[in-house]
Amino acid sequence: MEHKRLEIIPEPEWESLIEELIAHKGTAILIGATDSGKSTLARYLIGKLVSKNSVTSFVDSDIGQSSLGLPGTISMKTFKTDRDIEDFDAEKILFIGFLNPAKNISLMIDGTKKMVDSARKDAELILVDTTGLIHGEYGKALKIGKIRAITPQHIIAVQRYNELEHILTMIEGIKIHRIEASRMAKERSGEARIRYRKERFDEYFDNTKVAEFLLDGVSFFYNTKQFTSKETAFKKGTLIGLNHNEDTMALGILLELENTSITFKSPIKSVRGINRVVLSDINLYE
Ligand SMILES: Nc1ncnc2c1ncn2[C@@H]1O[C@H](COP(=O)(O)OP(=O)(O)OP(=O)(O)O)[C@@H](O)[C@H]1O
Ligand SMILES: [Mg+2]
């Protein structure tokens, strides 16, 4: 996939950042505007840290342009070896069900915290990637909320001008690493973002990998609330999360939802343990 092949041109100031992360460990959250190069920097840091024998967990909370998991999810993986980096795929996922974080800021914050708590069991060094939503009240609420919830030791603030300062002035007691956005960071159009998401979903739901399933007697959730299928109509093509309680085991595509039963397509191997299906606003057939 394209996002996995791109060559990263490092900036000289990234080296001292790596040294500081190794020396002090802990959790580091990357914040920055859209297309400032956060995910590319995260990818580079993971590679360097692992090559210097620092086991590193990566939490990808960018639900729009996810680099580790699928769009609409928060995901996590712990990297120990170069081999783990070659398979740049999520180890744990949490289905959020929308692409715009402003839709439910507290779900974004709680989900990110949950993943970070899980990552802390595996690694002393954790990198958290975030969405590019930094402007306005929503941007501030989301970034400050995430920072308060996960209490990181480091903030990696990637900026072109001073576009993060309205957020950074509110931070006390956390080491802020101000990093200039790379000149290589390229703006991507709305179409390119949609295309990227489509490629990620097409790869995951590849016809050779999916099967059809029918589940009966599970609970249905939408936007964190339980509902009965009589209350709301969801169209064929809706992206769904297949959960065991709050943990997402895999994603699926809704085919039919009727009373207490649901049919869907998914690359999941077995539906054993799935007791919750989370519906969403994302429709892959529209
Ligand atoms: N140092 C670099 N070397 C090569 N390409 C880069 C570099 N930094 C960024 N890019 C390119 O610029 C584009 C934007 O970078 P990236 O995806 O890392 O930004 P982002 O801040 O994560 O954006 P978003 O907020 O949308 O997730 C990508 O196409 C990426 O490949
Ligand atoms: Mg990104």
CB 32 within 8 A of CB 159: yes
pTM, 2 dp? 0.95
pLDDT in tens, the chain (286 residues): 445 557 999 999 999 999 999 999 999 999 999 999 999 999 999 999 999 999 999 999 999 999 999 999 999 999 999 999 998 999 999 999 999 999 999 999 999 999 999 999 999 999 999 999 999 999 999 999 999 999 999 999 999 999 999 999 999 999 999 999 999 999 999 999 999 999 999 999 999 999 999 999 899 999 889 988 667 789 999 999 999 999 999 999 999 998 889 999 999 999 999 999 999 999 999 8
Name the residues around ion ligand 2, CB cutoff 5 A: 38-39, 62, 65
pLDDT number for residue 1: 43
Cα 255 to middle of ligand 1, angstroms = 35
pLDDT number for residue 199: 97
89 CA to centre of own chain: 11
Q: Can you tell me the distance from the alpha carbon of 47 to that of 31, in angstroms, rounded to the nearest whole number?
A: 19
Cα 49 to middle of ligand 1, angstroms = 19
CB 203 within 8 A of CB 284: no
Strands 125-129 and 26-32: parallel
- Which residues have CB under 6 Å of ligand 1? 6, 8-9, 32, 34-40, 62, 65, 132, 182, 184-186, 188
Cβ neighbours, 10 Å, residue 2: 8
Can you read off the two tokens belonging to residue 191?
Answer: 């179409």
Cα 95 to middle of ligand 1, angstroms = 24
Burial class (CB in 10 A: 0-12, 13-18, 19+), 137: exposed
pLDDT number for residue 228: 81
Structural domains of the chain ordered from first start: 2-190 (3.40.50.300), 205-279 (no CATH)
Cα 267 to middle of ligand 1, angstroms = 29
Beta bridge pairs of residue 57: 78, 126
Q: Can you tell me the distance from the alpha carbon of 256 to that of 188, in angstroms, rounded to the nearest whole number?
A: 35
